[in-house]
Every structure is written in C-alpha cells, then in structure tokens.
Amino acid sequence: MTNPFDIVIFGGTGDLSLRKLIPALYRAFREDQLAPETRIFASCRSQKDIDSYLDTSSLALQQHLAAEEFNIELWEQFKTYLHPIMLDIAIVDEHWSALKKVMDSDTDKVRVFYLAIPPAIFGQCCNNLDEIGLITANSRLVVEKPLGYDAASADAINTEIARYFEDDNIYRIDHYLGKETVQNLMALRFTNVIFEQLWNSKSIDHVQISISETVGLEGRAGFYNDAGAMRDMVQNHLLQLLCLVAMESPNKVNAKSIQAEKIKVLEALRPMRGEDVAKHTVRGQYVAGSYFGELVSGYLEELDSANSTTETFVALRAYIDNWRWARVPFYLRTGKRMKARCAEIIIQFKDVPHRVYDDSAGPLAPNRLVIRLQPEEIIQMTVMSKNLENMDMQLQPATLNLNFSDTYKKFRSDAYKRLILDAAMANTSLFIHRDEVATAWGWVDPIIEAWKQAGTAPYLYRAGSWGPNESDELLAEDGRSWFNTGEGE
C-alpha cells in the first residue's frame, strides 16, 4: 500500500478524469493500494457539477471498468475518498483558500497536482497554486502528452511550469510507458542474453511498430482535429516505443539512465525534410466503412465538417543513424478506425546467410519476433523446423508462443493507476524528461511542416481497413509488407 497522499485533479469532470483517472484510482483502491487517508480532490466548475459528481463518477466507473470490477459495496467505500471542489482557474478566490485550508491539515503529506486541462492554462493553474501557497516541498505536478503543439510551444510550457516546480517534481506522462507490457519490453531485452546479442543491423532486417485503433473521434473532435495522428500518437507513444526497442542498455533502471539512452536514440533519428517526407511518409484519413457488417461514418461526417485535411493515419519509414541500427528501416504506423485494435512490435530477422537444404525442402522464412502489447500480451518467435509428419525433409515455420495472460491470470493492465501511484511515491523512471519532449518535436516538426508546404490532402482509407493502399506501397517499395495481426504477412 502507498503512503497516504492528496491528489488534486484539475479538470475533474473532463474526459480524461472520468475515463481514465477515476477508474485508475478506483482500481488502486480495489487492489488495496490506496491508504485510507488518501484524498482525491476533483475540480468542478459549478455547484451543479459538484452535486452530481458522485453520480457522474459512479456512471463513469460502470462504463469504463470491466463488469466484474465494479461493485456497489466497494463503490460505497471508494466514494468516501472523492471530494469534488469548486475551482475556477481564471480567478484565485475563496474556493482556492478553502482548498488550502483543507490540504494544510497536513503540510508534510505528498500532494499530486494532476493537470487534466488544456496546456494553454497550465501556467495560470501553477501560478494560482503558488500564489495561494499550495506548493510544498512534497508537491508534484503531473502533465499529459502531447506536451505542446510543436517544439516551440512545448518549450514555452516547460519553461512556464519550471517557474513553479523543480524539474524532479514534474512528471510528464506518456501512458504507454505505464503499460506493464511496455516495461516488459525492457525486461525482455536487458535480462536475456539471447535477444541482445542479435539486436542490431547484423541480424535484424527491419522493425515494425504499429498501433492500430478501431475507435474514431470519441467526442474529442476539438482536440483531435487540431492535432492529428502525428501529434497525438507518433510524437509520443510511437517514438517512445521506438526508443525502448532501439536504445542501448541503461547502466541502471532509473530515470536518469533510461532517459539519457532514449534521448540518444531520438537524436540519432535521421531528419526528414522536403522531398524525404513525401518519400518516407504516408498520411491517411478514414472514410465511411464497416465493422462486422455495422456501418460507421467517415472522419468528416464525425467531425461534421465539409473539409479537414487532418490525418487520422500515419505510416512512415525512419532510420536511426548510429552504429547499431545503420540502414535498418523502422516502419511506424498508427491509425484510427483500422481493422483491429492492436499495438505490436515486429522484429524481423534476416535470412540465413547460406542455405544447406535443397530447394525441394521448401522455402525458408526468416525468424520473426512479435511482441504484442495489446489487446493480448503475447511474445511469439517464429523459427524454421522440420515437418515431423513427413518422412521427406520438408521445412516449415513453427511458432514459440508465450502468452502472458495464461501465465499471469490476475494481470489487468492499467497504465494510469501505475503512473499515478508512481508519481505519489516519487518513482520517476517511467516519466519523460523535458529534453525527450523537445527532441521528439524536433524530429516531428519538419515532417508536419513539409506536409503543410506540400498542401496535399491525406490519402483516404475505408474505416475497418488497414489504412490507405499507399501505406502498403511504402513497404512494398522495399520488398516488404506490414505484419497485420491475425493475417500473417
């Protein structure tokens, strides 16, 4: 169980809070990880929101937790942790003083200020906390990705919040790092000699990192249409996964060592400008399609707008210019309304250098390591083997299959639960350093700029497909193809 702490969620009635944070805290409580003196203050903007807060939260929990997780007795206990409070970020008034009075009952207790609000008001919110005297030595600030809109705005936000909080007390979240399976990626690489010896351009042909989603806008049109898939997913989640796949071994598993290694990878990403961008990237936008016979609208219809060139899909070919990864393409792909929900990393090994069997033994498939992060947590390795039922020498691929859901039956991943508790306990290793944010934007910004300059519309793809044809062509140019879950190559 963690030591008791106070968490103040700014934006307490917003989407992030109700969909992710309150369910994460409920899970922590259910799993005996919230000490009874822990308090959850959720900022509301009207008396009406306060009055209905418990009902709203209970509804959100029922919607966003698995059916067996929610039960009324637990809820009755959990709700005593919840304290909706009136707070307007635009004015420091008596409500802020009231919060201070309540929190000052214990000035040594850890305080987590979670900004589930638009970045434009981060500065004002921190200023209020400072002005009213709420920031103590044990206070931590949690902010969400994407931090900013580009390198300049991210820098402005980081500079602003650094006026109020020491860097060690700023926790920049990328919830992918909180996924247990993502942490397992590091464990896999750095605790097994068999992988690390082969983890380089000598043995690896290419890497694919793909996060496909079946959801569409989910009521986030305002944010998403400004951001697009590049800012929403590639700048953070995909580049973080790329870093974990490509980085050198950290000296220790602590924030400083891990962040330093990740930054080296981001710095080694080959910059793309002008024509390179057209050559190595594909943008897409979904049009109406169907899932299992059920029709879904296209992006523009969901947006209720006649035109938007925002991309809901990105595929790209990236290179990491360092000794380990020279000439190994990293293909990244993400999209909304794709055929299946899946996040996975494919390590495609090279062909054997010399074939010892006759052609009659059949074709050889090079080894492939599949690390699936969701929906199931699976590691698969394909190896060539002899068909044992055939007297003749016939070769065929066989799969070594490690399914973590079988091994860890009680496992239920909740990245936000883990990250909130980590922030409360000052475990910083799964958070992002300011320089990572800056370096990632530094690579992404010129790509977005080149798209803007080119002024071309995204390619269209049908909802329920694997993205536009041009995404397949990107790999076909190199004689490769996407590994689509459940379909093989």
Residues 218-237 that bind ligand BG6 (CB under 6 A): 232
Residue 362 CB, nearest distance to ligand BG6 (Å)?
A: 38
Amino acid at 217: L
Query: 488 pairs with which residues across the strands?
Result: 484
Omega of the bond leading into 146 within 30 degrees of 0 (cis): yes
What residue is closest to ligand BG6 based on CB?
232
Give how far Cα 280 sits from Cα of 51, 197, 268, 275, Å: 53, 29, 17, 9
Site size toward ligand BG6 (CB under 6 A) is: 3
Choose between 87 and 245: whose C-beta lies nearer to ligand BG6: 245
Nearer to ligand BG6, 49 or 376 (CB): 376
Is 302 a binder of ligand BG6 (CB under 6 A)? no
Of 104, 125, 120, 124, which is closest to residue 43 (Cα–Cα)?
A: 125
| 213 near ligand BG6, judged by CB under 6 A | yes
Hey, what are 382's tokens? Answer: 């394909």
| Helix locations, 247-361, DSSP H | 255-268, 274-280, 299-303
Tell me which DSSP letter residue 104 carries: T
422 touches ligand BG6 (CB under 6 A): no
Residue 454 beta carbon to ligand BG6: minimum distance, rounded to whole angstroms: 24
- Nearer Cβ to ligand BG6 (216/468): 216
Judged by CB, which is closer to ligand BG6: 28, or 381? 28
Q: Report the amino acid identity of residue 329.
A: P
Q: Shortest approach of ligand BG6 to residue 336 CB, angstroms?
A: 7
Closest approach of ligand BG6 to the CB of residue 338, in Å: 12
Determine which one of 237, 280, 354, 433 is catalytic. 237
Residue 175 annotated in active site: no
C-beta of 232: minimal distance to ligand BG6 in Å?
5
Of 394, 397, 364, 395, the C-alpha closest to 381 is 397
- H/E run at residue 348: strand 342-349
Residues between 239 and 268 that touch ligand BG6 (CB under 6 A): none
Name 487's Cβ contacts closer than 8 Å, sequence gap at least 6. Answer: none
Task: Kindly report the length of the chain.
Answer: 489
Q: Pick the closer one to ligand BG6 by CB: 237 or 480.
A: 237
| Cα–Cα distances in angstroms (integers) from residue 283 to residues 228, 334, 474, in the given order | 10, 10, 11
- The least CB distance from residue 213 to ligand BG6, in Å, is 5
Nearest to 24 by CA among 418, 413, 417: 417
Asked if residue 368 lies in contact with residue 381, where contact means CB atoms within 8 angstroms, the answer is yes
Residue 11 or 84 with smaller CB distance to ligand BG6:
11
Within residues 326-345, the interface with ligand BG6 by CB under 6 A covers: 343
CB neighbour list of residue 427: distance below 8 Å, 6 or more residues apart: none
Chain contacts with ligand BG6 (rule: CB under 6 A): 213, 232, 343
User: Which residues are the active-site residues?
Assistant: 237
